[in-house]
Amino acid sequence: MSVQRRRGQLARVWRTVNVVDNRGNTVTLPDPGDPVEVKAAFIPQRSARAEVPGQQQINVVRMIVDAHLEGVSLWSRVEYNGRQWDVVSPPSYHHGTRRTRHWSIDIRERP
């Protein structure tokens, strides 16, 4: 495990579950009752400040976590630095030695 992930910052991740709604449709949602505490490294990817009223601020960060985290997809939710974040792209698995394998997850701050 890299130094950044071992000494990283704490984040709470909600995995996804499939739920049947009142219309009988199968819906994928973050599991509200089972958050997972992880240590992760965070790398800023891109951001745009809202300069004019009516614009929206965009803040995207790459979260690098240990390879043992399972069940995270586009519908997962992350709480980091006191704010809520959405998963932007499907998590990508990077295979390597036992110390270097990890998941890279791009997350975007919720408005």
Contacts 24+ apart (CB under 8 A), 96-100: 99/1, 99/2, 100/2
Instruction: Find the CATH number of the domain harbouring 57.
Output: 2.40.10
Question: Which range of residues forms the domain containing residue 34?
Answer: 3-109
Residues 6+ apart with CB under 8 A from 98: none
Give residue for tokens 């009142």: 22
Structural domains counted in the chain:
1
Exposed e or buried b for every residue in 58-84, given b needs 16+ CB within 10 A? ebbbbbbbbbebeebeebbbbebeeee
Q: What is the pLDDT of residues 8-53, one digit of tens each?
A: 899 999 999 999 999 999 999 898 888 999 999 999 887 766 666 6
pLDDT of residue 61: 92
This prediction's pTM? 0.79
